[in-house]
Structure 1
């Protein structure tokens, strides 16, 4: 791989290199080289700048080129080397009373698991154990396996090859960029093929899920909670390489939650949702019941519950209709025909 990147850097213009590896543009900015002539090869462009400018970073023209090769190779290598996650296994630990959970649950790619239980029962703690890929080193003493294998610390904490993405209840952006710039930045970091197409897909999907539409030039700091969550779900589905997605109470986000879950599972993500929403809980393949800080039960959705889900969906549609009428200043219409 390094040789191919080295040949690319030697033979192509900087514009062509950036077109192949968009993240290279950020590399040049980090070394205070944002104005290299794009129509020249890297060697030609570096010959045009004073050697002292590179010496500030302890580099010369040759070593800067090698740094560029290592940078691109490391990033591309992380994305290519990521083992496909076929399953995640939760091996039970202990609840708050110290009692053994006596449970082993394996979840396959494309499955949705809901996590239910009273407020304060320990739902977030389970999500936390999965997020850190616990190896009997958290208060619950749980262990998480990937593809039936125990993970090393290097695999657990590799930031360039992150296995788990978490969407929390409160999402705040700290960078004051617009939606287009935010998506372009992430597409560049992930070395997405056809980045413009992926960016547009994320934008369209996010607007389909969000209640109020937003534009590409909307600042991300101006997005509502629901819009932010919709944007991040679309981003996670289409750009993120993380195969495991944890969602904390998506029902509070003000988005089309069924569409959000469907979008993630279409991309073969393993999805775990902490929820109080009956529709989400029963739409999952299984649900984990948490009690007193421990896994109390694991239940598969029964045929009877699946039938009840259809009635719950009618009720949900009714409540959505009422919310829409109120939002747009309309009079609330009779509800009974919806249930019929």
Structure 2
């Protein structure tokens, strides 16, 4: 069981020491912000491999206060980290439900629990994607947004891995707020690289990445939390406009976005 995930400081691209140590707990959402090339993906990679001073940054990751055992670092089954990347491409020629059942069976779930999990994953994925698909839809026929939504829901309900890394979910074509809620409801630690204000303000904290290092750790203020609430409201309105466009409707009414 994961109680704490610590990231001990390394060094930036110039070799200067990093200033911030991090201690994450189940339910935390941590946003990584910074310009392209700042080092956000490198931090995610250090966490994914549970770095022990053996990466270019020199960072060290501790699991429950200790160095991880080799199985957690080098065995696919033993790893505690799941990563959802920007590009999701299926090569298995299977219907969605058959793929999910295989995953459930690989987790040794009893048949009734497996079917329940398959239904939860499918319902959540369809709800996030915005584009409906069914249990008999072929994996290879899913759009990019549908594929990402399916993997997010699968990681939330079927994956035992307690740490989730996400690279730029805003480009996925999914309901971002619902995706994060899925993970926190399941007690996962989530780290996401993002340029999206809504996601950046969703977190327990956000890490400012500069020159390959964590240069600042920002916890949201009351004013930022209020702005996040307003962004969620605005995002729902924009989502309704997207749906109208998808269904071929005209957008001719003056656009008004009232303060909620």
TM over 0.5: yes
Aligned residue for 2:106?
Answer: 189
1:155 to 56, 66, 72: 72
Aligned residue for 1:336?
Answer: 256
Distance in 1 separating the partners of 2:168 and 2:207: 14
Q: Does 1:216 find its partner at 2:135? A: yes
Mapping 1:18-29, distance limit 5 Å: none
SS in 2 for 1:150: coil
Query: Where does the alignment leave 5 or more consecutive residues of structure 1 unmatched?
Result: 1-83
Query: Where does the alignment leave 5 or more consecutive residues of structure 2 unmatched?
Result: none
Aligned residue for 2:24?
Answer: 107
Q: Deviations over 1:210-260 (max 9, x none)?
A: 110101111101101110111111111111110100011111111111101
Q: For structure 1, which segment, 329-338 or 117-126, has the greater mean C-alpha deviation from structure 2 after superposition?
A: 329-338
Q: CA deviation at 1:339?
A: 4.1
Query: Over alpha carbons, which structure has the higher Rg?
Result: 1
Distance in 1 separating the partners of 2:69 and 2:257: 57
Aligned residue for 1:120?
Answer: 37
Mapping 1:1-340, distance limit 5 Å: 84-193=1-110, 194-332=113-251, 333-339=253-259
Distance in 2 separating the partners of 1:137 and 1:282: 32
Q: Kindly indicate whether the alpha-carbon contact (under 8 Å) linking 2:71 and 2:79 is maintained by their aligned counterparts in 1.
A: no
Q: Kindly indicate whether the alpha-carbon contact (under 8 Å) linking 1:318 and 1:335 is maintained by their aligned counterparts in 2.
A: no
Higher relative contact order structure (alpha carbons within 8 Å, sequence separation ≥ 6): 2
Distance in 2 separating the partners of 1:310 and 1:242: 29
Backbone CA RMSD of aligned residues: 1.3
SS in 1 for 2:51: coil
After TM superposition, which residue ranges in structure 1, 4 or more long, deviate above 4 angstroms? none
Q: Kindly indicate whether the alpha-carbon contact (under 8 Å) linking 1:226 and 1:253 is maintained by their aligned counterparts in 2.
A: yes
Distance in 2 separating the partners of 1:257 and 1:99: 35
Change (3 A) 1:195 1:284: same
Q: Kindly indicate whether the alpha-carbon contact (under 8 Å) linking 2:71 and 2:78 is maintained by their aligned counterparts in 1.
A: no
Change (3 A) 1:337 1:237: closer
Distance in 2 separating the partners of 1:154 and 1:209: 33
Q: CA deviation at 1:329?
A: 1.6
Q: Deviations over 1:171-202 (max 9, x none)?
A: 11111111011001101111123211111111
Q: CA deviation at 1:143?
A: 0.7
SS in 1 for 2:201: helix
- The TM-score with structure 2 as length reference comes to 0.95
- The TM-score with structure 1 as length reference comes to 0.73
Distance in 1 separating the partners of 2:256 and 2:118: 42
